[in-house]
Amino acid sequence: NAKAIISFTCGGTTAQKASKKRPDVPILAISPLLTTSRQLSLSWGVYPEYVEEGVLDTDNFRSMLREACGIAIKKGLVSDANDLLVVTAGFPFGTPGAANIVRVIPAAGPTYWDSSL
């Protein structure tokens, strides 16, 4: 079972849709927009994280996953390296309504990931 859902989002729609289903796990919404992060703080079960533009390498999905794992650990959403995270994102990043990627990854980081990520 996954310990958290992670959503890379600009507008917050994907995180809000997940929130409406009231999952048993927290939703970590990572956004480069401060206003989106603030709005998502009002959504049920959502833990928004504002990440300044340029911090995420949006051309390198593996790098984004690494950053997401670090944030999940920092926020205490995972406690073990083998905890699973469900990650949603849209590529190209920043395209509204383009949540077209779902990955299940261990929180341990890149050394434990399949090379296809």
In this prediction, residue 62 carries a pLDDT of 86
Residues in the chain, pLDDT under 50: none
3-state DSSP assignment of residue 87: strand
Please check whether residue 91 is in contact with residue 101, taking contact to mean a CB–CB distance below 8 angstroms: yes
CA angle 28, 7, 105 (to 5 degrees): 90
Q: Which amino acid is at 116?
A: S
Instruction: Please tell me the number of Cα atoms within 13 Å of 48 on its side-chain side.
Output: 24
In this prediction, residue 50 carries a pLDDT of 97
**pTM recorded for the entire structure:** 0.89
pLDDT in tens, 82-91: 999 999 988 7
Structure tokens of 48? 């928004």
pLDDT in tens, 31-41: 999 999 999 99
